[in-house]
Structure 1
Amino acid sequence: MTETRPPLPPFTRDTAIRKVRAAEDGWNSCNPEKVSLAYTPDSRWRNRSEIFSGRPAIVAFLTRKWSREHEYRLIKELWAFTGDRIAVRFAYEFHDDRGDWFRAYGNENWEFDGNGLMRVRHASINDIAITEGERLFHWDRAHPRPADHPSLSDLAL
Protein backbone atom coordinates (compact mmCIF):
# COMPACT_ATOMS: atom_id res chain seq x y z
CA MET A 1 0.00 0.00 0.00
CA THR A 2 1.39 3.39 -1.03
CA GLU A 3 1.24 6.24 1.46
CA THR A 4 -0.05 9.57 0.20
CA ARG A 5 -0.11 12.97 1.86
CA PRO A 6 -2.14 15.49 -0.18
CA PRO A 7 -1.78 18.01 -1.58
CA LEU A 8 0.48 16.37 -4.14
CA PRO A 9 3.03 17.91 -6.49
CA PRO A 10 3.23 19.64 -8.83
CA PHE A 11 2.25 22.46 -6.51
CA THR A 12 0.20 25.54 -7.27
CA ARG A 13 0.34 28.57 -5.00
CA ASP A 14 -2.84 27.38 -3.26
CA THR A 15 -1.67 23.79 -2.76
CA ALA A 16 1.77 24.95 -1.59
CA ILE A 17 0.14 27.19 1.02
CA ARG A 18 -2.04 24.27 2.16
CA LYS A 19 1.04 22.02 2.39
CA VAL A 20 2.86 24.61 4.51
CA ARG A 21 -0.11 25.02 6.86
CA ALA A 22 -0.47 21.24 7.21
CA ALA A 23 3.22 21.04 8.16
CA GLU A 24 2.78 23.86 10.69
CA ASP A 25 -0.23 22.15 12.26
CA GLY A 26 1.61 18.84 12.42
CA TRP A 27 4.71 20.30 14.06
CA ASN A 28 2.59 22.26 16.55
CA SER A 29 1.14 18.95 17.73
CA CYS A 30 4.61 18.13 19.13
CA ASN A 31 3.87 14.47 18.32
CA PRO A 32 7.06 12.99 16.81
CA GLU A 33 5.41 9.82 15.50
CA LYS A 34 2.58 11.75 13.81
CA VAL A 35 4.97 14.29 12.30
CA SER A 36 7.29 11.58 10.95
CA LEU A 37 4.48 10.19 8.79
CA ALA A 38 4.65 13.29 6.55
CA TYR A 39 8.13 12.17 5.43
CA THR A 40 9.28 9.30 3.25
CA PRO A 41 10.61 6.30 5.19
CA ASP A 42 14.14 7.24 4.00
CA SER A 43 13.72 11.04 4.17
CA ARG A 44 17.02 12.96 4.39
CA TRP A 45 17.31 15.87 6.83
CA ARG A 46 19.75 18.61 7.67
CA ASN A 47 18.55 20.48 10.75
CA ARG A 48 21.03 23.07 11.99
CA SER A 49 24.22 21.00 12.35
CA GLU A 50 22.54 17.58 12.43
CA ILE A 51 22.29 15.39 9.35
CA PHE A 52 20.29 12.15 9.42
CA SER A 53 17.76 10.10 7.50
CA GLY A 54 14.78 7.84 8.06
CA ARG A 55 11.64 8.00 10.14
CA PRO A 56 13.18 6.43 13.28
CA ALA A 57 15.85 9.16 13.26
CA ILE A 58 13.17 11.82 12.71
CA VAL A 59 11.19 10.53 15.69
CA ALA A 60 14.32 10.46 17.87
CA PHE A 61 15.30 13.98 16.79
CA LEU A 62 11.84 15.44 17.41
CA THR A 63 11.52 13.64 20.76
CA ARG A 64 14.81 15.24 21.89
CA LYS A 65 13.80 18.62 20.48
CA TRP A 66 10.43 18.82 22.19
CA SER A 67 11.78 17.50 25.50
CA ARG A 68 13.95 20.68 25.62
CA GLU A 69 11.66 23.20 23.90
CA HIS A 70 8.63 23.77 26.14
CA GLU A 71 5.45 25.66 25.16
CA TYR A 72 6.54 25.30 21.53
CA ARG A 73 4.49 27.38 19.06
CA LEU A 74 5.41 27.62 15.38
CA ILE A 75 4.31 29.73 12.43
CA LYS A 76 5.38 28.80 8.88
CA GLU A 77 4.94 30.92 5.77
CA LEU A 78 5.36 30.04 2.10
CA TRP A 79 8.40 31.71 0.54
CA ALA A 80 8.54 30.05 -2.91
CA PHE A 81 7.49 26.89 -4.73
CA THR A 82 7.96 25.01 -7.96
CA GLY A 83 6.99 21.53 -9.13
CA ASP A 84 7.92 19.24 -6.24
CA ARG A 85 9.74 21.80 -4.07
CA ILE A 86 8.64 24.34 -1.47
CA ALA A 87 10.69 26.93 0.45
CA VAL A 88 9.34 28.30 3.71
CA ARG A 89 10.36 30.77 6.34
CA PHE A 90 9.29 30.22 9.91
CA ALA A 91 9.56 31.36 13.48
CA TYR A 92 8.79 29.53 16.67
CA GLU A 93 8.82 30.39 20.35
CA PHE A 94 9.66 28.17 23.30
CA HIS A 95 11.20 28.21 26.74
CA ASP A 96 13.92 25.98 28.10
CA ASP A 97 14.06 24.07 31.39
CA ARG A 98 15.19 27.23 33.21
CA GLY A 99 12.18 29.20 31.95
CA ASP A 100 14.22 31.34 29.54
CA TRP A 101 12.27 32.23 26.37
CA PHE A 102 13.55 32.14 22.80
CA ARG A 103 12.33 32.86 19.31
CA ALA A 104 13.89 30.76 16.56
CA TYR A 105 13.93 32.10 13.00
CA GLY A 106 14.63 29.91 10.02
CA ASN A 107 14.23 28.81 6.46
CA GLU A 108 13.49 25.34 5.14
CA ASN A 109 13.83 23.85 1.68
CA TRP A 110 11.58 20.88 1.02
CA GLU A 111 11.45 18.31 -1.79
CA PHE A 112 8.52 15.90 -2.15
CA ASP A 113 7.94 12.59 -3.85
CA GLY A 114 4.94 12.05 -6.13
CA ASN A 115 2.81 10.92 -3.17
CA GLY A 116 3.24 14.20 -1.32
CA LEU A 117 5.70 12.85 1.27
CA MET A 118 8.75 14.99 2.00
CA ARG A 119 11.91 13.22 0.92
CA VAL A 120 14.41 16.03 1.64
CA ARG A 121 14.37 18.73 4.33
CA HIS A 122 17.11 21.32 4.81
CA ALA A 123 16.63 23.69 7.76
CA SER A 124 18.75 26.69 8.74
CA ILE A 125 17.77 28.13 12.13
CA ASN A 126 18.95 30.87 14.51
CA ASP A 127 17.70 31.49 18.06
CA ILE A 128 17.41 34.79 19.87
CA ALA A 129 16.63 35.23 23.54
CA ILE A 130 13.38 37.05 24.28
CA THR A 131 11.53 37.94 27.44
CA GLU A 132 8.21 36.35 28.24
CA GLY A 133 6.65 39.78 27.60
CA GLU A 134 8.09 39.81 24.05
CA ARG A 135 6.26 36.64 23.09
CA LEU A 136 3.98 37.05 20.08
CA PHE A 137 2.56 33.56 19.59
CA HIS A 138 -0.43 33.11 21.89
CA TRP A 139 -2.96 30.39 21.22
CA ASP A 140 -4.18 27.31 23.00
CA ARG A 141 -1.53 24.62 22.42
CA ALA A 142 -4.24 21.97 22.31
CA HIS A 143 -5.37 23.37 18.94
CA PRO A 144 -3.78 24.53 15.67
CA ARG A 145 -2.98 28.22 15.25
CA PRO A 146 -6.32 30.00 14.75
CA ALA A 147 -6.99 31.28 11.23
CA ASP A 148 -7.26 34.85 12.55
CA HIS A 149 -3.90 34.76 14.37
CA PRO A 150 -1.40 37.10 12.67
CA SER A 151 1.03 35.58 10.17
CA LEU A 152 4.78 36.17 10.21
CA SER A 153 4.32 38.98 7.69
CA ASP A 154 1.51 40.51 9.78
CA LEU A 155 3.82 40.43 12.81
CA ALA A 156 6.67 41.98 10.76
CA LEU A 157 8.87 38.99 11.53
Structure 2
Amino acid sequence: MAALVPPFDEESAIAKVQRAEDLWNTKDPAKVALAYTEDSEWRNRDVFLRGRAQIIDFLTQKWEAEKEYKLRKHLFCFTHNKIAVEFEYEFVDADGQWWRAYGIEHWTFDEHGLMQRRDMSANNIPIKEAERMFR
Protein backbone atom coordinates (compact mmCIF):
# COMPACT_ATOMS: atom_id res chain seq x y z
CA MET A 1 0.00 0.00 0.00
CA ALA A 2 1.32 3.44 -0.89
CA ALA A 3 2.22 5.84 1.89
CA LEU A 4 -0.36 8.52 2.50
CA VAL A 5 1.55 11.69 3.32
CA PRO A 6 0.73 15.39 3.57
CA PRO A 7 -0.41 17.53 1.98
CA PHE A 8 -3.76 15.76 2.04
CA ASP A 9 -6.51 16.16 -0.50
CA GLU A 10 -9.99 14.72 -0.06
CA GLU A 11 -9.11 11.38 -1.63
CA SER A 12 -5.94 10.87 0.42
CA ALA A 13 -7.64 12.04 3.64
CA ILE A 14 -10.47 9.53 3.15
CA ALA A 15 -7.91 6.80 2.43
CA LYS A 16 -5.90 7.74 5.54
CA VAL A 17 -9.04 7.50 7.69
CA GLN A 18 -9.94 4.10 6.21
CA ARG A 19 -6.39 2.85 6.77
CA ALA A 20 -6.58 3.94 10.42
CA GLU A 21 -9.94 2.20 10.88
CA ASP A 22 -8.60 -1.01 9.35
CA LEU A 23 -5.45 -0.86 11.47
CA TRP A 24 -7.26 -0.28 14.77
CA ASN A 25 -9.68 -3.11 14.01
CA THR A 26 -6.71 -5.51 13.97
CA LYS A 27 -6.49 -4.90 17.72
CA ASP A 28 -2.72 -5.42 17.43
CA PRO A 29 -1.09 -2.74 19.63
CA ALA A 30 2.42 -3.15 18.20
CA LYS A 31 1.16 -2.91 14.63
CA VAL A 32 -1.05 0.11 15.42
CA ALA A 33 1.82 1.91 17.17
CA LEU A 34 3.89 1.86 13.96
CA ALA A 35 1.48 4.42 12.45
CA TYR A 36 2.69 6.98 15.02
CA THR A 37 5.98 8.83 15.39
CA GLU A 38 8.43 7.51 18.00
CA ASP A 39 7.55 10.50 20.22
CA SER A 40 3.88 10.79 19.28
CA GLU A 41 1.73 12.66 21.80
CA TRP A 42 -1.76 11.47 22.64
CA ARG A 43 -4.66 12.73 24.65
CA ASN A 44 -7.17 9.92 24.92
CA ARG A 45 -10.05 11.28 27.00
CA ASP A 46 -8.27 12.05 30.31
CA VAL A 47 -5.13 9.99 29.60
CA PHE A 48 -1.99 11.62 28.23
CA LEU A 49 0.64 9.47 26.50
CA ARG A 50 3.96 10.03 24.79
CA GLY A 51 5.79 7.59 22.57
CA ARG A 52 5.15 4.21 21.04
CA ALA A 53 5.88 2.21 24.21
CA GLN A 54 3.13 4.05 26.11
CA ILE A 55 0.79 3.68 23.13
CA ILE A 56 1.38 -0.08 23.04
CA ASP A 57 0.78 -0.41 26.80
CA PHE A 58 -2.38 1.68 26.60
CA LEU A 59 -3.83 -0.24 23.64
CA THR A 60 -2.93 -3.60 25.19
CA GLN A 61 -4.91 -2.70 28.32
CA LYS A 62 -7.73 -1.22 26.25
CA TRP A 63 -8.29 -4.31 24.16
CA GLU A 64 -7.93 -6.65 27.12
CA ALA A 65 -10.87 -4.82 28.71
CA GLU A 66 -12.90 -4.02 25.57
CA LYS A 67 -13.81 -7.40 24.07
CA GLU A 68 -15.34 -7.73 20.59
CA TYR A 69 -14.16 -4.19 19.83
CA LYS A 70 -15.29 -2.90 16.43
CA LEU A 71 -14.57 0.63 15.20
CA ARG A 72 -15.86 2.89 12.43
CA LYS A 73 -14.20 6.21 11.50
CA HIS A 74 -15.55 8.94 9.21
CA LEU A 75 -13.68 11.91 7.77
CA PHE A 76 -14.90 15.15 9.32
CA CYS A 77 -12.45 17.64 7.77
CA PHE A 78 -8.83 18.00 6.71
CA THR A 79 -6.14 20.50 5.82
CA HIS A 80 -2.46 20.32 4.83
CA ASN A 81 -1.21 17.88 7.53
CA LYS A 82 -4.25 17.58 9.78
CA ILE A 83 -7.31 15.35 9.70
CA ALA A 84 -10.34 15.30 11.99
CA VAL A 85 -12.57 12.26 12.26
CA GLU A 86 -15.84 11.33 13.86
CA PHE A 87 -15.97 7.78 15.15
CA GLU A 88 -18.05 5.23 16.95
CA TYR A 89 -17.07 1.88 18.33
CA GLU A 90 -18.69 -0.93 20.27
CA PHE A 91 -17.38 -3.40 22.79
CA VAL A 92 -18.50 -5.65 25.61
CA ASP A 93 -16.95 -5.42 29.08
CA ALA A 94 -16.07 -8.20 31.54
CA ASP A 95 -19.57 -8.01 33.07
CA GLY A 96 -21.25 -8.60 29.70
CA GLN A 97 -22.42 -5.00 29.29
CA TRP A 98 -22.29 -3.69 25.72
CA TRP A 99 -21.10 -0.13 25.11
CA ARG A 100 -20.99 2.25 22.18
CA ALA A 101 -18.51 5.14 22.18
CA TYR A 102 -19.04 8.27 20.09
CA GLY A 103 -16.33 10.84 19.62
CA ILE A 104 -13.98 12.94 17.57
CA GLU A 105 -10.25 12.84 16.99
CA HIS A 106 -7.86 15.49 15.70
CA TRP A 107 -4.71 14.16 14.04
CA THR A 108 -1.48 15.92 13.06
CA PHE A 109 1.00 14.15 10.74
CA ASP A 110 4.69 14.53 9.99
CA GLU A 111 6.06 14.68 6.45
CA HIS A 112 6.32 10.86 6.34
CA GLY A 113 2.61 10.38 7.10
CA LEU A 114 3.18 9.24 10.70
CA MET A 115 0.87 10.71 13.31
CA GLN A 116 2.67 13.13 15.63
CA ARG A 117 -0.35 14.08 17.70
CA ARG A 118 -3.70 12.49 18.44
CA ASP A 119 -6.37 14.28 20.51
CA MET A 120 -9.44 12.17 21.26
CA SER A 121 -12.67 13.00 23.06
CA ALA A 122 -15.48 10.48 23.45
CA ASN A 123 -18.47 9.38 25.49
CA ASN A 124 -19.57 5.83 26.19
CA ILE A 125 -23.22 4.89 26.35
CA PRO A 126 -24.54 1.52 27.51
CA ILE A 127 -26.45 -0.42 24.87
CA LYS A 128 -28.23 -3.75 24.71
CA GLU A 129 -26.67 -6.47 22.60
CA ALA A 130 -29.67 -6.25 20.24
CA GLU A 131 -28.84 -2.56 19.64
CA ARG A 132 -25.37 -3.27 18.26
CA MET A 133 -24.64 -1.67 14.89
CA PHE A 134 -21.42 -3.59 14.14
CA ARG A 135 -21.25 -7.37 14.01
TM-score, scaled relative to structure 2? 0.98
Aligned residues: 134
Query: Within the alignment, does 1:73 sit opposite 2:70 as a pair?
Result: yes
Q: Please name the residue that 2:80 is paired with.
A: 83
Indicate yes or no: 2:124 matched with 1:131: no
**Greater strand fraction, Structure 1 or Structure 2:** 2
The partner residue of 2:98 within 80, 88, 101 is: 101
Superposition misfits of 4+ residues, deviation over 6 angstroms: none
State the alpha-carbon separation in 2 of the partners of residues 86 and 74 from structure 1.
17
In the alignment, the residues of structure 1 paired with residue 49 and residue 84 of structure 2 have an alpha-carbon distance, to the nearest angstrom, of 20
Q: Secondary structure at the match of 2:70?
A: strand
Q: Percent identity?
A: 53
The aligned residue for residue 16 of structure 1 is 13
Structure 1 residues not aligned, in runs of 5+: 139-157
TM-score, normalization: structure 1?
Answer: 0.84
Stretches of structure 2 that go unaligned for 5 or more consecutive residues are none
The 3-state SS of whatever aligns with 2:20 is helix
* 1:42 and 2:39 aligned: yes
TM superposition shift of 1:54: 0.1
* RMSD of aligned Cα (Å): 0.7
Which of 29, 33, 36 is equivalent to 1:32? 29
